[in-house]
Amino acid sequence: MGLTSRSLEYAVAAAAVVCVGLTLWLWPRFAGRGARPLLGRLGVIAGTQLVIVAALGLAVNANFQFYASWHELLGLYDDAPAAVGKWGDGGAAGPVGDPSKGLVQASGPDGLDKVHGLPKGAPATAGRVESVRIVGKRTRAVDPAYVYLPPQYFQPQYARQRFPVVVALSGYPGGTFLLGQHLRLPQTAAGLIRAGRMQPTVIVMMRPTIAPPRDTQCVDVPGGPQAETFFARDVPDALRSRYRVGHDPGGWGVMGYSSGGSCALQLAMRHDRTYTSAAALSPDYKVSDDPTTGDLFGGGRDRVRRREEHDLMWRLRRLPAPRVDVLIGTSRSGEKNYPAARAFLAAVKPPMTADSVVLAHGSHNFATWRQELPAALEWMSRSLTFPEDVVGNS
């Protein structure tokens, strides 16, 4: 049974109920003194607790889709993050795809069938959300994605138009399911487009790590996964090969929440010829090693330089500002990063521009990000070019 299957969840929940019943029935038999009754009591307590925790863990994972499969949970990939010292082979760590079969490949639902409130009806009226896998032409990395195509994408009057794109990144260890079910990104975008508050836009929902369970932080790890190259070069190439989307950077934006927001800022500021707009909800402003990332910057004389260049405050102080627009979402109380957000916004200088969505109260959670999302999407819509060009002319 799959890790997120309802049958497994129900089976373990039933086992938990049985274990509680057995504990109540067997407890009087272990009431005596001595080693055997003591071990018996410890055994039934430990067994019951283990099954209850497993049932709760499966229920939480089924709801939030932290891990989509047993392989992902256990990290059973070739050259998985546990073997940091063995990484190499051009950085092909984690799941590896075959670009010769297409850069955007059809996949199973990957949780899309469990997302509530998706647009329903004819695509030309309601739009469509597809579940695919994106394969890197350079990195050979493979990452699942949901792709929201607005109704206009299917309407005859737009048949020769290229659409703007927003690449949306989840936090870590979340995934595409959270962007659909809990952030409600495609549902919110569909409503804004229907109301005329957002221009028709293709939205590509992805997780920021390409070598799960390692948190790759959208960094090209020396001798390891090339996450930055994947999102800055492979993803745009893949999407252009499959969808009617813009060729000019003015039609490309990137957004995310938590570590996905950090990636969005990193990608826009480091690759302004790919993404010209970034919306970051509750981001960090520099990349640091921690137990989930491992060593992101490698050794040698270039280690300090690589780390500094992923510190966005350092970039604003030391390097020419990129020609990008950024939006920061934060809260005056409840968000620990509010002082850092203020410092970042104050440090922005032309030609870079910065705006903000600042709530009076908000925590690092989906309730906060859902409040900020409509304003972020409308801001992104104003920043992106549409219609960009005519299919066949570029």
- 71 band by pLDDT with thresholds 50, 70 and 90: low
Q: Are residues 57 and 99 in the same domain?
A: no
Do 217 and 346 lie in one domain? The reply is yes
**Beta-strand pair 252-257/165-169:** parallel
Residue 76: the pLDDT is 45
Rounded-to-integer distance, Cα 353 and Cα 345, Å: 9
Reply yes or no on whether the pLDDT at 271 is more than 90. yes
With cut-offs at 50, 70 and 90, classify the pLDDT of residue 85: very low
Under DSSP, is residue 105 helix (H, G, I), strand (E, B) or coil? strand
The whole-number pLDDT of residue 4 equals 61
Which among 40, 62, 84 is the end of a domain?
Answer: 62
User: Percent of the chain beyond pLDDT 70?
Assistant: 88
Are 18 and 104 part of one and the same domain? no
174 and 39 within one domain: no
For residue 392, tell me if it sits in a domain: no
Residue 74 in any domain: the answer is: no
Expressed as residue numbers, the domain containing 20 is 6-62
**Is 275 in the same domain as 147?**
yes
**What's the rounded Cα separation, in Å, for the pair 344 and 340?**
6
State whether 103 and 53 are in the same domain.
no
Is 228 found in the same domain as 177? yes
pLDDT at 26: 76
Q: Cα separations (Å) of 92 from 136, 211, 374?
A: 10, 9, 37
- Specify if 331 maps to a domain: yes
Shared-domain flag, residues 373 and 242 = yes
Is the pLDDT assigned to residue 257 strictly greater than 60? yes
- 389 assigned to some structural domain: no
Which residue type sits at 388? E
* CATH number assigned to the domain comprising residue 297: 3.40.50.1820
Residue 89 lies in a domain: no
Q: Is 77 part of any domain? A: no
Give the pLDDT score at 56. 84
What's the pLDDT at 84? Answer: 24
pLDDT digits (tens, 9 = 90+) for 165-212: 999 999 998 889 999 999 999 999 999 999 999 999 999 999 999 998
Rounded Cα distance, 96 and 302, in Å: 28
Domain boundary pick from 43, 62, 81: 62
CA angle 372, 378, 379 (to 5 degrees): 85
Same domain membership, residue 326 and residue 264:
yes
3 has pLDDT over 80: no
Same domain (yes/no): 136, 195: yes
The band of 276, judged by pLDDT with boundaries at 50, 70 and 90, is very high
State the DSSP string of 273-321.
Answer: TT-SEEEEES--SB----TTT--SS-SSTTHHHHHHHTBHHHHHHHSPP
Non-local (6+) Cβ contacts of 298 within 8 A are: 221, 222, 223, 306
Q: Give the pLDDT mean for 130-142.
A: 94
Q: Return the closest-CA partner of residue 326 out of 271, 387, 265, 369.
A: 265
The answer for 78, left when phi > 0, alpha when psi is -120 to 50, beta otherwise, is beta
CA distances from 298 to 87, 127, 153, 284 (A): 11, 44, 44, 21
- For residues 266 and 233, what is the distance between their CA atoms, to the nearest angstrom? 14
What is the pLDDT, as a whole number, of residue 82? 24
Asked whether residue 235 is assigned to any structural domain, the reply reads yes
362 and 223 share one domain:
yes
With a cut of 80, say whether residue 373 has pLDDT above it.
Answer: yes
* pLDDT tens digits for range 115-125: 999 988 999 99
Question: Does residue 29 sit within a domain?
Answer: yes
Domains contained in the chain, number: 2
Q: For residue 341, what pLDDT is reported?
A: 95
Alpha-carbon span 346 to 187, nearest angstrom:
33
Helix (H, G, I), strand (E, B) or coil at 26: helix
Task: Give the position of tokens 């394969």.
Answer: 135
Are 107 and 12 members of one domain? no
Burial (0-12, 13-18, 19+ Cβ within 10 Å), 64: middle
- Three-state SS at 163: strand
Per-residue pLDDT of 309-367, as tens digits, reads 999 999 999 999 999 999 999 999 888 889 999 999 999 999 999 999 999 998 899 99
